[in-house]
């Protein structure tokens, strides 16, 4: 990854490559106005921008907004690699102070970003401001504790969950800091939006895992290790290293019965229509 993208960018890219066809079901299931203009914020590398623009082709438009010029450049490159997309405009923008008039958009899409947006209610309120009355704010999010579920040893799973809670509490002041999905409906309501249904996209994989999934797991295991290692007992850390080193005889990836389930939830809310 270039220096100007955050460290998590490579995991994010690997995640989209491993689960792309499942995540796209989230976009397909979203209540999007075919003829309208949709704001994708923050757009990141444009993974969802492409799929939103495909969904809105030929009558709609997408505006891809992000605070990072490096990410916007990535998104621009990603969109340019596809055809049969609705027109896409790229805007450098702060999600807390969007440079758009009130009620400009027919819908707003916000994916996998409420960890990065440390004041999610403020950002969601801004999204509610720029969407038309009755328009949808669609949030696609995960919960660290249930995002990637593995059928590895139960004691290891419990130890990793406990260490994740301790690490996030120590770093961010709350054990739920990496679990936006469990808060999204409350945040949407606090932001003045009318909450609607939740739909979870389930991606199941069984061994043997393909290269894209193996790559994603390599990054994820390394990220998780960096987070939890100081909070694991020496025995649990040894078990974690054995399970996540693909060369180790106890490696999760060596198990012929290895299974993985990935959960990402789509939350629908609408800007209230004045009486």
Identify the residue whose tokens are 């609607």.
196
Q: At a CB cut-off of 8 Å and minimum separation 6, what does 87 contact?
A: 53, 61, 62
* C-beta of 2 vs 234, nearer to ligand SAM: 2
Nearest to 79 by CA among 113, 108, 54: 54
Helix boundaries (H) for 97-250:
120-130, 154-172, 184-190, 211-228, 234-244
Q: Decide if 114 contacts 180 (C-beta within 8 A).
A: yes
Number of shown-chain residues binding ligand SAM (CB under 6 A) = 19
Give the one residue of 18, 27, 48, 264 binding ligand SAM; rule: CB under 6 A.
Answer: 48
User: Is 188 in a helix, a strand, or coil?
Assistant: helix
* C-beta of 6 vs 33, nearer to ligand SAM: 6
Give the one residue of 56, 60, 61, 71 binding ligand SAM; rule: CB under 6 A.
Answer: 71
d(CA 260, CA 220): 13
* C-beta of 120 vs 240, nearer to ligand SAM: 120
Q: Where are the beta strands (DSSP E) in 49-159?
A: 61-66, 88-92, 105-111, 131-141, 148-150
* C-beta of 122 vs 225, nearer to ligand SAM: 122
Stretch binding ligand SAM (CB under 6 A), from 37-45, 130-138, 210-218, 238-246: 37-45
Q: Is residue 77 near ligand SAM by the rule CB under 6 A?
A: no
Minimum Å gap between C-beta 143 and ligand SAM is 15
d(CA 269, CA 189): 8
Stretch binding ligand SAM (CB under 6 A), from 77-85, 108-116, 130-138, 183-191: 108-116
Residue 92's DSSP bridge partners are 66
* C-beta of 138 vs 269, nearer to ligand SAM: 138
Binding site for ligand SAM (CB under 6 A): 12, 42-45, 47-48, 66-68, 71, 94-96, 111-113, 116-117
């Amino acid at each position: 990854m270039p220096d100007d993208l955050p460290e998590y960018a490579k995991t994010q890219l690997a995640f989209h490559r491993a689960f792309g066809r499942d995540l796209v079901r989230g976009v397909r299931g979203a209540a999007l106005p075919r003829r309208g203009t949709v704001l994708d914020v923050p757009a990141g590398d444009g993974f969802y921008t492409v799929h939103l623009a495909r969904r809105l082709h030929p009558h709609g438009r997408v505006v891809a907004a992000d605070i990072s010029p490096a990410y916007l450049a990535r998104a621009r490159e990603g969109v340019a690699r596809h055809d049969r997309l609705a027109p896409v405009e790229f805007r450098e923008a702060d999600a807390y102070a969007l440079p758009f008039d009130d009620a400009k958009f027919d819908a707003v899409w916000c994916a996998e970003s409420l960890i990065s947006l440390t004041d999610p209610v403020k950002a969601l309120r801004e999204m509610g401001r720029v969407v038309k009355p009755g328009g949808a704010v669609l949030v696609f999010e995960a919960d660290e504790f249930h995002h990637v579920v593995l059928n590895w040893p139960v004691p290891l799973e419990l130890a990793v969950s406990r260490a994740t809670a301790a690490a996030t509490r120590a770093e961010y002041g709350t054990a739920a800091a990496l679990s936006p999905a469990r808060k999204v409906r409350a945040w949407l309501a606090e932001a003045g939006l009318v909450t609607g249904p939740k739909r979870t996209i389930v991606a199941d994989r069984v061994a043997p895992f393909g290269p894209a999934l193996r790559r994603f797991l390599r990054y994820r295991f390394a990220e998780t290790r960096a987070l939890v290692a100081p909070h694991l007992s020496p025995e649990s850390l040894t078990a974690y290293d054995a399970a996540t080193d693909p060369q180790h005889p106890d490696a999760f990836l060596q198990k012929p019965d290895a299974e993985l389930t990935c959960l990402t939830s789509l939350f629908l809310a609408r800007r209230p229509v004045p009486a």
